[in-house]
Amino acid sequence: MLSHRTEAKVSAPSRAQRLARTGDLFYQTVRPYQKNNYLFEKPDNNYVFSTGYAQMRPFVDGYFLLSLVQSERFVKVVLDNCTGTSYPAINANDLAEIKVSVPSDKNEAQNIGAIFRSLDNLITLHQRQHFLHSTPDISLSVRLIHPFYTSSWEQRKLGEIGSVSMCRRIFKEQTSETGDIPFYKIGTFGADPDAFISRELFEEYKSKYPYPQKGDILISASGSIGRTVEFAGNNEYFQDSNIVWLNHDERLSNPFLKCFYSVVKWAGIEGSTIKRLYNDNILNTVICMPSVPEQKRIGLFFENLDNLITLHQRKGKAAVSGCSNDANNSKGVCCKARDFGYKCHKKDEPSRFDA
């Protein structure tokens, strides 16, 4: 895998400099967690995007790049580089400095892009048909291809199939810097814990109060809202109100719910200046569901895809470990050893998207 920097033009002051060209990708720089990003595929004409978007000219397949910038991992990195609290935003120059992994073989990127293009086309086709989900919120990542898509999808509010649950409140004086049971706060959610509680307190609260089941999808309700962690069933505890999960019935599978969370647009927060996900936002959000067997197949599909991406990223790192670069260059692979902390004195090939 090659590591490239994304690049976007700085918001231009004049109409002429903001003209869209075929193949451009427009990235939402204000409140990027909404993921309203677009690949412009119309013929070159007088189309203009607002200054709330950064204009990218992809060096790789456009659909591949679109799927990449829509991912939760990329959004998390963007949010870490944002300024502002009510309206978090990223500067186009800072966006251009974010590094991403792309296949060294351009044909591989094009094949991946073609898959997502086919998904989009099929979604559009089904949207034109008379299904129960005629105006769904789920898009590319969830509403999937044949043979998954075999029946109408049921549209329900999350509150109709479940309720929001959270752990019992833990007070600061009940925690310590070391201990038996990790206690995850919103700042350490999905990372390493910096606080612990006693096993006795854990066992008491786990038995008396709501506690997630293995496979439940935990979600952040403050800070960078919408971050998810699949609960693995380990002995650990979570901060109340800031880390919650949907306690749902058998009509919804957790793997499918995890996919849904990656593309969801929460009810009631559009245009809100409060970066907080309340229970009503979750419960009033509409989800479109296929049958449970289809849900499981969709979840498995994306789990395998995620595992494959992780595997390739590890191979990319291993390929440059202690790299002399000769073997890599003979294959046309640009060594990026410095990105992983290794020394390499070979000249890198250009690593910027053509802008």
Give the CA-trace dihedral at 230, 231, 234, 239, to 10 degrees: 120
Question: When comparing pLDDT for 324 and 227, which is higher?
Answer: 227
| CA distance linking residue 144 with residue 3, whole number of Å | 29
Cβ 184 vs Cβ 243: under 8 Å: yes
Cα–Cα distances in Å, from 290 out to 20, 144, 253, 298? Answer: 37, 10, 10, 10
| CA distance linking residue 62 with residue 6, whole number of Å | 12
Confidence category of residue 220, pLDDT binned at 50, 70, 90: very high
pTM for the whole thing? 0.55
SS (H, E, C) 130-163: CCCCCCCCCCCCCCCCCCCCCCCCEEEEHHHHEE
| CA distance linking residue 230 with residue 320, whole number of Å | 31
Q: Which of 66, 145, 152, 158 is nearest to 112 (CA)?
A: 66
Token pair for residue 233? 């069933």
Token pair for residue 22? 């075929």
- What are 281-333's pLDDT values in tens digits? 999 999 988 889 888 888 888 887 777 767 766 665 554 444 444 444 433 33
- What are 178-217's pLDDT values in tens digits? 999 999 999 899 889 999 999 999 999 999 999 999 999 9
Q: What is the pLDDT of residue 46?
A: 63
Using a 10 angstrom Cβ sphere, with 0-12 exposed, 13-18 middle and 19 or more buried, the burial of residue 151 is exposed
| CA distance linking residue 156 with residue 173, whole number of Å | 42
| CA distance linking residue 148 with residue 132, whole number of Å | 17
